[in-house]
Amino acid sequence: MTETPRQRQHRQTMADILQYAHQQLATEGSAGLSLRAIARELGLVSSAIYRYVPSRDDLLTLLIEESYNAFGDAVEAAETRCHRDDLGRRWLAIGRAVRRWAVANPAEWALLYGSPVPGYHAPPERTTAAGSRVPILLLTVLAEANLEPSPDDPPMTAALHRELDRLRPAFPGDLKPEVFARGLLAFSSLCGLVSLELFGQFTNTVTQFPAHLDHQLIRLGAVLGLPDPD
């Protein structure tokens, strides 16, 4: 279906709004987002921008959706380049790609994995699917590894076991709750390592960030039960 001139103008204006919003995010942080300031940049009267973005919260949601999808695209592209049978290499590629994207997009990483924006609650119907793409990629690797519970897995309460078991249908394969828990540990550890680097918490300690991340990814891969990367 061919776009009308009005539709093209609307699409272009939305793209310009998001471009300026990303710039504002980088300079002012999420708390400093201002639709009025974006309207000035676009040469619009302040009331006109609300025809495109009804509120600041809606702008935040759009930025989160776009950032999660850009993040997912980058990590999936890196993982796809690995040989399907090399599960350890696929996990390493996921971890490296997460850090690369975060370093290239620190403001967006802070929006996704930093402190919550006061007063804002992301609507799950608009953000959950996009935000799950990278964790699902990791869980897909675990599902393909056909991992089973191990004697090294710590005891799990019955309530936690039921909770993780209830979540299984939303994720790939037939992951046992103990393996699912390992995946959550690995992903949260990866996000923590990247955040500590980006937010300057490794000052006067680690400086060799790529090498440090690789070391920890291989260690986490062993915890997951994955083979060393070939």
Domains of the chain: 1-54 (1.10.10), 67-224 (1.10.357.10)
The secondary structure of the chain in percent helix, strand, coil, rounded to multiples of 5, reads 70, 0, 30
Cα–Cα distance measured from residue 176 to residue 156, given in angstroms and rounded to the nearest whole number: 12
Tokens describing residue 54 = 């009804």
CA atoms within 13 A on the CB side of 126: 14
Tokens describing residue 38 = 């974006």
pLDDT of 3 higher than 90: no
Residues in the chain: 230
Task: Give how far Cα 122 sits from Cα of 59, 125, 157, 167, 204, Å.
Answer: 11, 9, 30, 20, 35
Query: What is the rounded average pLDDT for all residues in the chain?
Result: 94
pLDDT of 173 higher than 90: no
Q: What is the mean pLDDT of residues 146-175?
A: 91
Q: Kindly report, residue by residue over 79-120, the tens digit of the pLDDT.
A: 999 999 999 999 999 999 999 999 999 999 999 999 999 899
| Per-residue confidence (pLDDT) for residue 1, from 0 to 100 | 64
Tokens describing residue 142 = 């675990």
Residue carrying the six token digits 């940049």: 41
Given pLDDT bands bounded at 50, 70 and 90, which one contains residue 40? very high
| Per-residue confidence (pLDDT) for residue 86, from 0 to 100 | 97
Q: What is the mean pLDDT of residues 65-83?
A: 98
Cα–Cα distance measured from residue 100 to residue 80, given in angstroms and rounded to the nearest whole number: 16
